Amino acid sequence: MVKGITSVVPMATGEAFDQLSSLFRSLGFEEGKGWSDAAGRGSAFLAPVGNLELVQGQLPAIPSLMVEVTQLDVIYDLVRAWVGKHFAASTADSRLTLVTATHWNSRMFTVELAEGFRLGFWESENPLHGKPAAIEGDLMTNGKRYAIVVARWNAVITDRLLQGALDALHRSGAKRDEVEIVRVPGAWEIPSAARSLAETKRFAGIITLGVLLRGETAHYEAIYTEVARGIGQSQQETGVPHAFGVLTCETLEQALDRAGLKAGNKGFEAAIAAIEMSSIQSQLGAVK
Ligand code: DLZ
């Protein structure tokens, strides 16, 4: 049974070995099982999908080792910074090509990372290219704007949910001015604010945050049903992803656990879901 493909690249010096290992780690390769013995050492880097390509006729003008990526421009900036740091300015420019369009519906650049070792990075214009079975969202905000609707009722909890959501957004690349926060009185008011925000079409996703405590809310069921229905309806009718971060708990203690104490932070999870859904929506739109 075939399991994978291994390409072995000799490094001329220990310094080049260390530098390139650190570059590949920073580019997001998963680290495999390395080895070290009296004769030398090896660093292994894994990619989710491998591809052994045989070519007959004219070989395309590409290095024999190519890495397919999803965010070519981000990778380009990282590689350019690395080349600028590790090579003299006079040779840095000749090591790195510009990002150019290929005739196979992709964009690529190549870089000479060590003497005789040229590597190509490329991204297909088809978002589904190379994807194994499923369409999956990236967890990067990519400059898109997000809105958070947060209820003030039970603020001791909702403030924690808000911190969790902001943490997720910023760690996924969102800048401060790409996130709009709207505070509403209680969970009941979340759907209408979410709907107004979604209708502006200025946001890639809406994150709704609130807490309903059964013990303290006589008409809990009625409020909960309406809030869930309203948020779902806004999502379906506007087409803008709405993440549901409205906790329904028996007690304050249970709510605290879900707001960062013991059971994760549901605000964080909701924000990640919104980012992921926005990416999925973009991909689904691109294949229509
Ligand atoms: C009134 C009320 C009650 C009893 N409980 C909650 C709650 O547990 N969580 C929450 O977010 N809001 C609650 N509210 C306020 C309502 O959501 C709403 O803000 C008010 O009824 C005003 O419309």
3-state secondary structure of 240: coil
In the structure, what pLDDT confidence band is assigned to residue 131 with cuts at 50, 70 and 90?
A: low
> Are both 199 and 114 inside the same structural domain?
no
In the structure, what pLDDT confidence band is assigned to residue 91 with cuts at 50, 70 and 90?
A: confident
Cβ burial, residue 94 (10 Å; 0-12/13-18/19+)? exposed
Q: How many CB atoms are located within 10 Å of the residue 171 CB? A: 13
Q: Whose CA is nearest to atom 12 of ligand 1?
A: 186
Ligand 1 atom closest to the CA of 151, numbered from 1: 11
> Are both 85 and 117 inside the same structural domain?
yes
| Per-residue model confidence as pLDDT tens digits over 187-203 | 999 999 999 999 999 99
| Domain around 231 | 146-287
Q: Is 247 in the pocket of ligand 1 (CB under 6 A)?
A: no
pLDDT of residue 6: 84
Quote the ligand 1 centre to 272 CA distance (angstroms). 26
pLDDT of residue 288: 43
Residue 50: is its pLDDT beyond 90?
A: no
CATH number of residue 90's parent domain: 3.10.180.10
Average pLDDT over residues 160-185: 96
The sign one gets for the Cα dihedral 275, 278, 284, 285 is negative
Q: Is 189 in the pocket of ligand 1 (CB under 6 A)?
A: yes
In this structure, of 29-33, 76-80, 278-282, the range with the lowest mean pLDDT score is 29-33
Quote the ligand 1 centre to 243 CA distance (angstroms). 20
pTM of the shown model: 0.62
Residue where one domain finishes, among candidates 94, 124, 154:
124
| Per-residue model confidence as pLDDT tens digits over 234-245 | 999 999 999 999
> Are both 41 and 103 inside the same structural domain?
yes
Residue 274: is its pLDDT beyond 90?
A: yes
How far is 251 from 271, CA to CA, in rounded Å?
24
Q: Whose CA is nearest to atom 7 of ligand 1?
A: 212
Per-residue CA distances from 146 to 97, 166, 178 (Å) = 35, 10, 6
> Are both 83 and 170 inside the same structural domain?
no
Residue 132: is its pLDDT beyond 70?
A: no
Tokens of 189: 């008011």
CB-hemisphere CA count at 13 Å for 61?
7
Respond yes or no: is residue 219 known to be catalytic. yes
Quote the ligand 1 centre to 206 CA distance (angstroms). 20
Q: Is 130 in the pocket of ligand 1 (CB under 6 A)?
A: no
In the structure, what pLDDT confidence band is assigned to residue 158 with cuts at 50, 70 and 90?
A: very high
> Are both 209 and 267 inside the same structural domain?
yes
3-state secondary structure of 83: helix
Q: Is 172 in the pocket of ligand 1 (CB under 6 A)?
A: no
Average model confidence (pLDDT) across the chain: 90
Q: Is 255 in the pocket of ligand 1 (CB under 6 A)?
A: no
Q: Is 212 in the pocket of ligand 1 (CB under 6 A)?
A: yes
Q: What angle do CA 31, 36, 40 make, to 5 degrees?
A: 115
- DSSP bridge pairs for 100: 108
Strands 205-213 and 146-151: parallel
pLDDT of residue 90: 83
Tokens of 39: 């004769």
Instruction: Name the most confidently modeled range: 120-134, 139-153, 248-262.
Output: 139-153
Q: At what angle do helices 190-199 and 220-238 cross, to 10 degrees?
A: 10
Average pLDDT over residues 168-195: 96
Percent of the chain with pLDDT over 70: 95
CATH number of residue 177's parent domain: 3.40.50.960
> Are both 152 and 91 inside the same structural domain?
no
Quote the ligand 1 centre to 211 CA distance (angstroms). 9
Per-residue CA distances from 29 to 19, 24, 254 (Å) = 14, 6, 39
Q: Whose CA is nearest to atom 21 of ligand 1?
A: 188
Number of structural domains found in the chain: 2
The sign one gets for the Cα dihedral 44, 45, 49, 53 is negative
> Are both 150 and 67 inside the same structural domain?
no
Quote the ligand 1 centre to 253 CA distance (angstroms). 18
Q: Is 246 in the pocket of ligand 1 (CB under 6 A)?
A: no
